[in-house]
Amino acid sequence: MLDEVDDFIVSGLEYKGKKFKSAIKGDITLDEKGVEEKKASEKKYKALIELIRDQLKDDVKDVRLSGRLKDTACCLVGDEGDMDPQMEQLLKSMGQKVPQSRRILEINSGHPIFEAMNRLFEKEQKSVVLEEYIKLLYDQALLMEGSKPKDPAAFASAVTRLMVKDVEKAGA
The count of structural domains within the chain is 1
Question: Would 4 be classed as within a structural domain?
Answer: no
- pLDDT tens-digit profile of 38-77? 777 788 899 999 999 999 999 999 999 987 788 899 999 8
pTM more than 0.95: no
Question: Would 133 be classed as within a structural domain?
Answer: yes
Average pLDDT, the chain: 82
In which domain, by residue range, is 132 found? 31-170
Question: Would 108 be classed as within a structural domain?
Answer: yes
Question: Would 138 be classed as within a structural domain?
Answer: yes
Query: Which pLDDT value is given to residue 171?
Result: 76
Question: Would 71 be classed as within a structural domain?
Answer: yes
Give the separation between CA 27 and CA 106, rounded to whole angstroms: 9
Query: Which pLDDT value is given to residue 47?
Result: 93
Question: Would 62 be classed as within a structural domain?
Answer: yes
Average pLDDT for 86-102: 77
Residue 82 belongs to domain with CATH number: 1.20.120.790
Question: Would 141 be classed as within a structural domain?
Answer: yes
Containing H/E element for 105? strand 103-107
Question: Would 14 be classed as within a structural domain?
Answer: no
Give the separation between CA 73 and CA 133, rounded to whole angstroms: 12
Give the separation between CA 170 and CA 172, rounded to whole angstroms: 6
The answer to whether the beta carbons of residues 72 and 144 sit under 8 Å apart is: yes
- pLDDT tens-digit profile of 5-45? 565 566 667 778 776 655 555 555 555 656 667 777 788 89
Closest CA to 125 of 41, 49, 42: 49
Give the dihedral of Cα atoms 82, 38, 134, 50; nearest 10 deg.
90
Q: Look at residue 100 and tell me whether its pLDDT is greater than 90.
A: no
